[in-house]
Structures are given as structure tokens and as C-alpha cells.
Amino acid sequence: MLPLEPGLYIVATPIGNLGDLSPRAADILSRADVIAVEDSRVTAGLLRHVGTKRPMLPYHDHNAEGVRPGLIARMAGEAVALVSDAGTPLISDPGYKLVRDARAAGHLVVTIPGPCAAVAALTLAGLPTDRFLFLGFLPPKDKARAEAIADVATVRATLILYESGPRLAACLAALADGLGDREAAVTREITKRFEEAVTGTLSYLAVRYAEAPPRGEIVVVVAPPGDPAPASEADADAALADALTRLPAGRAASEVAKALGLDRRTLYARALEMKR
């Protein structure tokens, strides 16, 4: 078996079904000099599935600052594989700092793509996929969570976030309060035997899961805001009145038509009436 070129290898691992491990990922894990892991017990099970044993070194939120320099030093002559317990490393974990420092040190950095719970949930939800924003875990405290939701309330994209079973109902209720009662999906146990995607409004889902908090790993997907309501005649008149204090009727009509998405000719006729 040929050795790997020294450097950092970012390896995506299954989020449930071991059959989702790619042949390339299995090959990298079999040949890495050391594997940086969240939990060695979880990765040991994956290595048994692959049929190999490799040295492992814990690398997670609690020890990353102390362990990172040693890993960077090893990359000068060894192949270091980075894995998370499930899915793609760096998604909602501290791995990006390892990548940043490896690049700064001039080491090879290679990605071996594969499963990601956030993207898998998006494909199950039946919600718009052309633009989406991943939020990770929202803060658990009510005030901080409400502030985080307010920050994204006007973002015109599908929202994706992770949540735990015991906090799910409260999170869904907070989303409904902060975003309005949008369509959403709660996905859990993705790729596993009891994979589930439950859809409905945020308020409906909040009530459903308040009565029966789910188990397993959960991803919530929330629809983007709907199209804004059309401007009323009063809105148009107010905007025209303001524009006419600065512009002639034609330019005022053009400005308001662009801002409110209304017909310019109608607005021009109204502007002339207002001037008279």
C-alpha cells in the first residue's frame, strides 16, 4: 500500500448508513498516518467497517487549541486525516482553524467530500434550494435565540439549522414568533432505518413536538419569507408625494415604480394629478 503524501486530508464520513462511506474516503482512512477524531469510539467503529486500524488523536472543541500545533507539525512528514463523528468536518465544528493553520504552514490540504446532514435535510424538505443559509445550532437561551432569529428574519433564503430533541419545540415556537408562520420541515435520523421528514407550518410543528419530543439527530429546514404584499394606493401616494418634492413628475414616477414594483405609467398619471 503506497503511503499518502504528507498533509491534511478532510474526510467526510457517514451520517448514519455506513454504506455511504465513499471508496476514496475508505482508502484515505486506511493509509493515513494518524486520524484526528471527535470521539475515538465512534471512529473505531468506522475503521472496523473499513477493515483497518490506524492511530487516532482526539481533536474537538475542548482540546483543539492545545492539540492543533502538534498536528500541524506532524503534517510536515505525515498524512493527517480529519474526521467528525458524522458527516463533513468543519460543518458546525472547529476544524476550519486546523485548515487555516495548515495552509499558513504551507502543507497540502485535500478534501474528500461526502455526506452532510444539512444538505441531506435540504433535499428531503421540499423547500426552495436555490439559496440557503446554514445557521448551525441556535443559542439555547430565549433572549439570545430570539436575537439570532431576528438577524436572519429578512434573509431571502431557506434556513437550515441543527437542534436537539428536548429543545426542538421551543426552538420551533421561537422561529414562528420571529419569522412568521412559515412552512418548515423537521428531519431526523437521516439515512438510518427510521429516517423521517415531517413538514408543516412552524406553529404546527412546535405543537406536534411539544407533545412528543423526538429522539435522534435533528435538522430543521425553514422556507424563505414569502413575497412582500403589494404596495397599497396610500403607500404609492405617500412615496410619490415625497418624490415630487425633489423630482419632476416623470422621474418621480420612475423612482417609485422601481421601489414599489408598480406600473410607471399609472404612477405618472397619478403624479400629474397630485401636482395639479
Question: In this predicted model, what pLDDT tens digit does every residue of 124-134 receive, in sequence order?
Answer: 999 999 999 99
| Sign (positive or negative) of CA dihedral 74, 79, 85, 91 | positive
Q: What is the pLDDT of residues 222-269, one digit of tens each?
A: 999 986 556 778 888 888 898 898 899 999 999 888 877 888 999 999
Residues 173 and 144 in one domain: yes
Domain region containing 19: 7-115
**Closest C-alpha among 72, 130, 133, 126 to residue 97:** 72
Same domain, 237 and 218: no
Q: Is the pLDDT of residue 167 over 80?
A: yes
pTM: 0.80
The pLDDT of 69-88, averaged and rounded, is 97
Percent of the chain with pLDDT strictly greater than 90: 81
What is the full DSSP assignment across 42-72? HHHHHHHHHT----EEE-STTTHHHHHHHHH
Confidence (pLDDT) at 75? 98
Q: How far is it, in rounded angstroms, from Cα 155 to Cα 187?
A: 22
Higher-pLDDT residue of 16 and 216 is 16
136: cell is: 448551525
Cell for 6? 504528507
Please report, for the domain that includes residue 104, its CATH number: 3.40.1010.10
**Residue listed under C-alpha cell 436575537:** 147
Domain's final residue, options 54, 87, 115: 115
* Confidence (pLDDT) at 61: 87
Query: In terms of domains, do 204 and 140 share one?
Result: yes
